[in-house]
Structure 1
Amino acid sequence: MSFKFNFCIEEAEDCSVECTGLSDPKEEKPENSMQLSGDKEVQMKLSTKNKEKGIALNSCFCNSDVLDDSNMSKDKAEEKTVCCKPAIEHKIPQDVNEVMENKIVEQTSGLQFVNVSVVEMTLSNEDLHGENIVSKTVTANSDLISGVYEGGMKIWECTFDLLRYIEDEDVSFKGKSVLDLGCGAGLLGIVALRRKAREVHFQDYNSTVIEEITIPNVLVNCDSSDENGDVTEEPSEKIFKKPKTHAGLLSKCRFFSGDWSNFTLLMQNQTPSVKYDIILTSETIYNPNYYDAMHDLFQHLLADNGTIYLASKSHYFGVGGGVLLFETCIKKGNRFNINTLKTHDDGLQRMLLSLSFKDC
């Protein structure tokens, strides 16, 4: 499998208003995206709750392009919030073998995953989820389209840096609640699952990614005999016939799509509200416009003694994000300690970071 790093951000064409300070700045038309409800009133209620809880809109200390409520009416502010993608939970399929239809599985050391090219070809012939992300990326000639598609169908390089760190340092997940944030292929969450995490939640911006990539990948890894889930190599081109799959460890998993602000709100509204012992995330700080929503998510969803493991390139050319700017954002918030765990200097510099609450 080859890795693509052409971080060319294209703006969504179908949304005329901008979501400044939220996790995704633009969104497509409602008829072309998976909705929490067809009723716009439901989304307006989510907007109100976002404001009441102080999520994103009232914490724009990281983004210089701050939403200025003094120059904007209440209606327009709410219109900006509605523009963002609702967070929804995806049901675990009853017939797990049906999920693997038209899928080809690749293998690397200890892990299996569906061949993305085959998935893209299938989706280009028939759009099953209403997002049309394959045709849009082809048209835009980009692996990222801000507010439309956030790169979840690719396995990005830094994911393997974090997987190796987990193996080398023998990071313990036993009995812990884990979030794979911006999960894409879900490899980080799968390793946590196989290292005996109590539960693992997978979150990605796109419903298509969750349904066509993440859930199938969890399925094909559920019955593997390698319980440690160690990964030391990047994917090979070896392709083999898909195995018979069973629900297995799926009972410990939940799957979500949507923007980070609404995902945070959804988890806070659970009974009891959700807190994660460990949050794993890779290549998610490429766009500074998303830092506020990420900070709020960490602040509200990380357990008091929890740890965040983050893998990133030092800088994302053409997008503006990177480790230095992200660290500046975190330090301004004054809620987290941030430490550098490892730096890789081969090629474009890559870094592994950890975050935890101060005074914990």
Structure 2
Amino acid sequence: MSFRFNFSSEELESAENDSTVRSSLDNYDGLNITGKQPIPKPFIPPRELVLNNLNDVLPLTLIAERIFISTCEQSILYKRHLSDVKFQVAQEDNFLETNYNENTRILELAADNDIVQGVYEGGLKTWECALDLVEFLSKNTDNLNFEGKRILELGCGTSLPGIYILTTKNPFRVDFQDYNEQVLKLVTIPNILLNTLLCPKTEDFSNGTAEIDVPECVNLLDQLKRSRFFMGDWNGLIDTINLDSEQEKYDLILTSETIYNTDSLPNLYNVIKHSLKRPNGIALIAAKSIYFGVGGGVLLFRQLIEQDKVFGIKIIYNEKAHVKREILILSFLDCLA
């Protein structure tokens, strides 16, 4: 089934043009059904994306935009501009002498729908709860120590929360998962490189964007091999990640805007429960209080957690916009006791 987050197709790009963590995002009004006929939900099986070269991932240049994080000390993250994604896909279509490929299909779906369940799950855009999560992480560095830790971002999309930790907190590793392989290749991986090895300079920016050359060097691939990348459904993801021991599990799991679909809540929770390290691992879930049209939101997710009696759950962040946004923290109950 397809849904809209109350943005028009024109706003898909204009929202990406905004380089601050607020502005038009606060006009968000939940998740609404478009009125189109339901699309039968397919299933993309989970698998690991193994990168042996970057020839089919990166173009020769990337167009970057800045995201300003409002903290005591202002931080800046960089992400690929959506127009640059569109340009790369158009170029690939021309090269392949075809008018349609899987990347084109994802872009078309993203223009018409914020999500199409089981097909495209919204990963090309940066949603406001992801930015809430970055701000929370940046303001709580004294309470959250990520140095040497293993971290996983589920439903990462443009992956700014995971990238913030990767580039500022000296973790052991940060792994990334998104439903769509195209999202990982078109935005997640470019964003990681923009914030690590490519590092745009302030003077490079004009009109809010900068064109960054992508050198042909082994360092880019070496940087990416410090992380693992997973794609596909959460159902079966645990077997794909294949965490053989408690020590290999994650100290921190991040996720934002992923609890909108009631059908997927058990699978998401199952990944968190079986991938988080005991006894001190924590999960941070950033979400709207309610997602109109599909019934997901904080209340149902909390009920699922409380019924299972494995985790304690606490609200640690509130943003009272038109639809309230929250960040939840999960900690093992046996640790809290």
Deviation at 1:294?
1.1
- Distance, in Å, in 1 between the alignment partners of 2:175 and 2:48 is 10
- Cα deviation 1:136-166 (Å, max 9, x = unaligned): 344xx31111111110011000111111111
Paired amino acid for 1:7: L
Unpaired runs of at least 5, structure 2: 1-13, 16-23, 69-75, 94-99, 201-205
Is 1:176 matched with 2:149?
Answer: yes
What residue is the counterpart of 1:68 in the other structure?
Answer: none
- Cα deviation 1:247-272 (Å, max 9, x = unaligned): 2632321111000112122123x555
What residue is the counterpart of 2:170 in the other structure?
Answer: 196
- Spell out the pairing of 1:89-108 with structure 2 (5 A cutoff): 89-92=48-51, 94-95=53-54, 99-101=58-60, 103-108=62-67
What residue is the counterpart of 2:179 in the other structure?
Answer: 205
Is 1:330 matched with 2:305?
Answer: yes
Query: Could you say if the C-alpha distance between residues 131 and 358 of structure 1 is closer, same or farther in structure 2, counting changes exceeding 3 Å?
Result: farther
Paired amino acid for 1:211: K
Cα contact 2:177–2:231 (8 A) shared by 1: yes
- Distance, in Å, in 2 between the alignment partners of 1:216 and 1:130 is 15
Partner of 1:158: helix, strand, or coil?
helix
What residue is the counterpart of 2:4 in the other structure?
Answer: none
- Cα deviation 1:14-37 (Å, max 9, x = unaligned): x5xxxxxxxxxx21xxxxxxxxxx
Unpaired runs of at least 5, structure 1: 16-25, 28-83, 227-235
What residue is the counterpart of 2:316 in the other structure?
Answer: 341
Cα contact 1:12–1:148 (8 A) shared by 2: no
Report the number of matched residues: 281
TM-score of the pair, normalised by structure 2: 0.75
What residue is the counterpart of 2:266 in the other structure?
Answer: 292
Deviation at 1:102?
5.7
What residue is the counterpart of 1:142 in the other structure?
Answer: 113
What residue is the counterpart of 2:209 in the other structure?
Answer: 239
What residue is the counterpart of 2:73 in the other structure?
Answer: none
Cα contact 1:112–1:221 (8 A) shared by 2: yes
Deviation at 1:118?
2.9
Identity of aligned residues (%): 34
Is 1:86 matched with 2:45?
Answer: yes
What residue is the counterpart of 1:115 in the other structure?
Answer: 81
- Distance, in Å, in 2 between the alignment partners of 1:122 and 1:100 is 7
- Spell out the pairing of 1:1-360 with structure 2 (5 A cutoff): 2=15, 5=28, 7-8=31-32, 13=39, 15=40, 26-27=41-42, 84-92=43-51, 94-95=53-54, 99-101=58-60, 103-109=62-68, 110-123=76-89, 126=93, 129=102, 132-138=105-111, 141-170=112-141, 171-194=144-167, 195-223=169-197, 238-244=208-214, 246-247=219-220, 249-268=223-242, 270-271=243-244, 274-304=248-278, 305-360=280-335
Paired amino acid for 1:340: I
